[in-house]
Amino acid sequence: MSHTLRPPHLGRVLAGAVLLTVFGASAQAAQIRVTVENLAPSDGFSLTPVYLGFHNGSFDLFNIGEAASPGLEVVAEEGGPFSNTPEAMGMGGGVANERLAADPNSQGGVIAAPEGFPGAPVIEPGEIGTAIITINDPTDQRFLTYVSMVISSNDAFIGNEAPIELFDDAGNFLGDVDILVTGNSIYDAGTEENDATDGPAFAPGFPRGSGTPTVNGVVTLHEGLGDILGAGTFAGLEQPNGAILGADAIDFVTDRAGFQLARITITEVPEPSSFALLGAGMLGLGTLRRKRLA
């Protein structure tokens, strides 16, 4: 007597495939969505494309009180580039090279705005940049380091001194991350003198990196870009998009915690609940069909 493959077999196969996906996900690549929103008012700062490094925790971008690395200097003064390009190599290499030197298995990514200034996909006030990034091995590339230049400035940047843990050592996503970038996260690279009349990047008439180098400078919490510098305020500078920096909009010193420059959010894609619901649905489908055919 011949036997026909009955539908319940298909239900069990599909359910098994779903279970394999659900329970085997932590040992495989993971996808995350990273979103950067510029919270500044229309006459506030823009941000250059945000560089992301995913690593094992060994990549140390900067330390307060220590000299900036050549890669950080390129970002803080030029807004990039991040990798092994002639421009970056002219200043010792980019942050991507430094990340790889610290952790050869690490990986990088960049978040930019879809439009930005003409010729530069910077994230202007009110704009949002987002990307879905595949983390090849979340058991190893567990930590995040980010960096971006604040423009217009000579060498102001945002970044995290201590790496942010996204996955545990088993590769499980630790939950959504919400990073509010305030005045407490704006740093001075200490590589170029703060002077609104001498080489502030992205201000019309000033080539990037054309300011006066700082002698024996170190990374510090930024002291502001107003009159307290003694070299003129950055308020009033025209941006490439025609906006004019406002005095109140760029004052991140008076109330550092209250000054909100950006929000960086990280979520897992797809969310674990979606997998669980899909798995439960497929298991239920298999059970239902078995009952109907009993």
- Nearest CA-CA partner of 222 in 197, 263, 245, 256: 256
**φ/ψ (deg, to 5) at 122:** -75, 165
Give the pLDDT score at 30. Answer: 96
* Contact between 187 and 67 (Cβ < 8 Å): no
**Residue 217 is encoded by which pair of tokens?**
């400078």
Q: In order of start, what are the domains of the chain with their CATH numbers? A: 28-288 (2.60.40.2130)
Give the pLDDT score at 245. Answer: 94
* Contact between 71 and 92 (Cβ < 8 Å): yes
Give the pLDDT score at 82. Answer: 66
* Contact between 61 and 161 (Cβ < 8 Å): yes
Q: Is the dihedral angle over the CA atoms 260, 152, 204, 113 positive or is it negative?
A: negative
* Contact between 59 and 145 (Cβ < 8 Å): yes
Q: Count Cα atoms within 13 angstroms, Cβ side, for 99.
A: 27
**φ/ψ (deg, to 5) at 117:** -65, 155
Spatial distance between the Cα atoms of 134 and 107, rounded to a whole number of angstroms: 10
pLDDT lower than 70: segments of the chain? 1-27, 81-93, 116-119, 207-210, 227-232, 271-294
